[in-house]
Amino acid sequence: MSAITLTAGLIQREIVPHDPAGNLFSTLETMQRLVEQEVDLICLSELWLTGMINPTDAESSNVVSTIDGPTVDALRDFCRTAGIYLSAGTIALKEKDGLKNSALIIDPSGEIALKYDKVHLFAPMGEDRVYEPGDSLEAVDINGVGVGVIVCYDLRFPSMSRTLARAGVEVILVPAMWPDARIYPWETLLRARAMENQVYVVGINGLCNQNGVYIPGHSMFVGPHGDALNQPEMRESVIVRKLDISKLRKLRSEICYLDEEVEISDVNWHAKVNESGG
């Protein structure tokens, strides 16, 4: 029996804030080079098209997209022509009920196979004043491999990844705009989510300097043992890795604790510090 693999390529490129046309053109060029490397799946970062959306900046509101607009159409056309899957990072999408920070996966026929709206919005950077949160998790089958998506701040909430893994997801994609000031937690959490859920994790971080916040790249492929499969870099880069799904499934068949967790929600206190600190 031949090994089951999924070859993924991630694109870490400089994001020019408020320049969707320029970012789209540059990204499509890079994507074409990845197609020549015969990858199954191309992965982009969070908000790769526009950079961060500022609720007090009028210019920000002029760069958002729609699900049936020209940007998404261009990505769908690319996938259809190249015959490839694309995890289009996230795009700020204007919908009837407000703006969503939406992750899209587009299949080789150009159809939108998955749309995930970011659930956990990062209030210190004003996301809760810009976007409406999502309320569900999404997964898709890519060439027989279960693939799910969470976005940036979602990474800090272990139940998100555990729920995906229990549902059969084997690869979790994490498009992000994770700042340099907290890059150690980024790497640590990517490793932890992979190890504790016996999955591959692909963290695709942005690369830009916007509003005094430096987003440094540091994108990573992480194996199911929490092992880094590449050396993270803080410059424009394209990284390709072949994920051995057969090896992952063998690991799960030998020792799998995903379904053995006992969920306990209550804590029985036997001695408790009083309010006075005594």
Q: Could you tell me how many residues make up the chain?
A: 278
Q: Is 193:163 a contact under the CB 8 Å cutoff? A: no
End-to-end CA distance of the chain: 65
The rounded distance, in Å, linking the Cα atoms of 61 and 166 is 38
Q: Which residue among 43, 79, 152, 208 is the active-site one?
A: 152
- The yes-or-no answer on residue 118 being catalytic is yes
- The yes-or-no answer on residue 46 being catalytic is yes
Q: Which residue among 43, 79, 100, 118 is the active-site one?
A: 118
- The yes-or-no answer on residue 152 being catalytic is yes
The rounded distance, in Å, linking the Cα atoms of 49 and 47 is 5
Strand order in the sheet with 145-149: 139-142, 145-149, 171-176, 200-205, 220-222
- Which H helix or E strand runs over 171? strand 171-176
What Rg value do the Cα atoms of the chain yield, rounded?
19
Does residue 80 sit in helix, strand or coil?
helix
Catalytic site positions: 46, 118, 152
